[in-house]
């Protein structure tokens, strides 16, 4: 793996889960001495961006710039189970839960030291980036993504 934030996915291609490990630091924490709530969606989104990079071969930047494809979010929801701190790496597991005609769904859960900290669900829509126009998921992306499709975690 070339870089540090976007890290360790499980090696086997047949496995449905992808883990993106994040360093949580002082900068992420608020006066309650835990990661600020507003940072948690950032962490989950970073994990989805890393999923794109490692599973599909294009992160959001490359999708947009090189392929003129955007995947803006239509919806997100998150349940916060336990606070996040700098005491341990944050392991974000990304599940691909839906491949629609023009939309894609993810579930992301975050663990620290084995404890579940948050669970989130996300829906994105494919658009032609420079026209903001809905478009079908390209066949090559669908072909690569499909084997990773899994039921959302309970």
Q: Which residues bind its own copies (CB under 8 A)?
A: 2-8, 20-23, 25-27, 29-34, 36-38, 41-42, 45-46, 49-50, 59-62, 64-65, 70, 72-80, 83, 85-89, 129, 132
Q: Which is nearer to its own copies, 46 or 149 (CB)?
A: 46
Alpha-carbon dihedral angle through residues 48, 96, 107, 55, given to the nearest 10 degrees: -30
The CB-of-144 to its own copies minimum distance in angstroms stands at 19
Q: Which is nearer to its own copies, 26 or 151 (CB)?
A: 26
The pairing of strands 127-128 and 69-70 is antiparallel
Q: Which is nearer to its own copies, 80 or 146 (CB)?
A: 80
The CB-of-132 to its own copies minimum distance in angstroms stands at 8
CA atoms within 13 A on the CB side of 48: 24
Q: Which is nearer to its own copies, 33 or 134 (CB)?
A: 33
The CB-of-37 to its own copies minimum distance in angstroms stands at 5
CB atoms within 10 A of CB 98: 16
The CB-of-154 to its own copies minimum distance in angstroms stands at 17
């Amino acid at each position: 793996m070339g870089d540090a934030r976007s890290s360790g996915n499980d090696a086997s291609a047949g496995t449905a889960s992808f883990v993106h490990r994040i360093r949580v630091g002082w900068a992420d924490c608020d006066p309650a001495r835990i990661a600020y709530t507003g940072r948690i969606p950032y962490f989950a989104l970073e994990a989805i961006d890393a999923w794109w990079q490692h599973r599909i071969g294009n992160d959001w930047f490359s999708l947009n710039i090189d392929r003129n494809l955007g995947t803006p979010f239509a919806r997100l929801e998150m349940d916060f189970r336990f606070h996040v701190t700098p005491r341990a790496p944050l392991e974000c597991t990304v599940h691909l839960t839906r491949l629609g005609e023009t939309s894609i769904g993810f579930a992301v859960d975050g663990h620290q030291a084995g404890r579940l900290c948050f669970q989130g669900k996300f829906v994105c829509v494919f658009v032609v980036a420079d026209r903001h126009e809905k478009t079908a998921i390209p066949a090559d992306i669908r072909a690569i993504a499909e084997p990773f499709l899994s039921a959302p975690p309970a």
